[in-house]
Structures are given as structure tokens and as C-alpha cells.
Amino acid sequence: MAGLQNFDDLIEKITNEFRADPRNKVFASQDLLIASAKEEAAKDLNPDELLSIVRDYESGDLDGDAEEIYDAVVYCCAVLARKCFGEDPEDEDEEIEYEISWIENEDGSITAEIRPC
């Protein structure tokens, strides 16, 4: 099942796909966003909970606990920005400025579009 994929494996897969065909953006799949919450906050999210947190963020309605979970969800975006847009993708201290656009797909899943600033 795709939802059970490992965070590091998903990062590597997306990074390798990006390097094979570089663009000015990279996408974090719903599976990766859920894996990121598990990796950073030990929080098991289902797709509906992920969508709710993103919608709450967009409307400015996150409380303390939800904000912590949102930060864990978007952790993968920072990792992808560094690995795809950084000068040294392996330099974990390098900070890349990026922006996230949230995309709700027709099937109800959510994707983060990450672009360097």
C-alpha cells in the first residue's frame, strides 16, 4: 500500500524524478505529506485529517496542536526544496526559501507544489 511507504524512500523517489527532469517546481504527494507527519510528529494522519489541517491553515484557523501537526506535514517541503533547489542537496544546514501552493486534486487528495522564491 502506497500510504505505508517510508518517508526517506518517498523523498528519494521524488528527488530522483526531479533530477531526471528539473523544473521550477516540485510536488509533494499526499503520501509524502502523511509520511512527513509520521516522521516529524509521530502522528498518523488519514487523508481527510490532512485536508482538514491544510484548509484550517489556509483559513488561519490552526490552533497550537494543529499548527504543530501542520509544521510536521510541511517538513517534507523543506527537505524537497533543499534537495531539488539547493546548491548542495546533501547539506542539511542549507536553507532554501520556498513557497507552497496547495492543490486539491479531483480525486480528493491533496498535493503541495513547492517553488523556490
Task: State pLDDT tens for residues 39-79.
Answer: 999 999 999 999 999 999 999 999 888 999 999 999 999 99
Angle (CA) 110 6 33, round 5°: 20
What sections of the chain are H helices per DSSP? 7-20, 30-41, 47-59, 64-85
Res. 95: pLDDT tops 90: no
86: region left, alpha or beta (phi > 0 left; psi from -120 to 50 alpha): beta
Strand partners, 113: 27, 101
